[in-house]
Amino acid sequence: MRVAFPCSLLAAATLPLGYALQADPSKNTCPWNGLSRDYEPLVQFPMDTIEFPDDVRDSRSSYVDSSVSSPTRNSWRTFPDCFEEYCVYTNNGFFNKGISLITTASNHARVAQIQIPQKDSILYQEKTRIVDIPGKGKGLVATRMIRRGERIMTANPALLVHRDAFRELSLEDINYLMDVAVDNLPKSRKESYMSQAGLMGSHKITDILFTNSFQVTVGGNDGFHYGNYPEVSILNHDCRPK
């Protein structure tokens, strides 16, 4: 899959769970406007064309309670505190990294059906290095020439939050669910999430999501979420560099 590099990391684009970032040789400008301060989604791309690749379809996951200490690659924990229809679901073995969802039962079921490939995400490796970017935190810079269309990385989300939760729940309830979701990620995954910059000066975990997320679909008419990819958030950029 090729995508145009988004103008802000809270992108109004539709992406599958496994996100492959590549340069798009046909695009030279950023195609969308970012999320407004009142968090109303601005969707400008067709929303009915994404399908999961063949290697992540048609499997079933096991459900386990929070007493399980060594989760498998596709085992889930649920938590008792829910608001309306939105609950927290965590899988600490998801792609060997971990993921938390704040979503409905039906959308969790869709994610839980994903077969976890044995091959883990491909990161930047020898092509790039991480440096401190003034005013932007950690950033990724190239260590060699990167060709147009060359894949830079693939990554999977650490957090998915249902888009409609921000309309239907109070900010206090959202912040509570966000705390539960991130606190229950594996230590390294939580640290990578918390290392991201937040620009709005509000509740830190929620602020990070608003600053560093893509819009993701898990399928169906009610499957739109905001997804945070910690590895992707270090891609600082300028939409129209001088």
- Hey, which bits of 64-191 come out as E strands? 75-78, 87-91, 99-103, 128-133, 137-142, 151-155, 159-162
Taking CA atoms, 75 is separated from 89, 120, 228, in Å, by 10, 17, 20
Q: How confident is the model over 24-34, as pLDDT tens digits?
A: 455 544 433 33
pTM, to two decimals: 0.67
**For residue 241, what pLDDT is reported?**
58
β-pair partners for 228: 159, 213
Q: What is the mean pLDDT of each run of 10 residues along the chain (242 residues)?
A: 32 43 47 36 29 31 37 76 95 91 95 72 68 77 85 86 96 96 96 86 89 88 92 69 58
**For residue 20, what pLDDT is reported?**
45
**For residue 59, what pLDDT is reported?**
29
**For residue 200, what pLDDT is reported?**
72
Nearest to 180 by CA among 149, 206, 202, 201: 206
Write down the domain spans for the chain.
11-234
Q: How confident is the model over 55-87, as pLDDT tens digits?
A: 332 322 333 333 334 445 568 999 988 999 999
β-pair partners for 75: 62
Tokens 């608003």 identify what position? 210
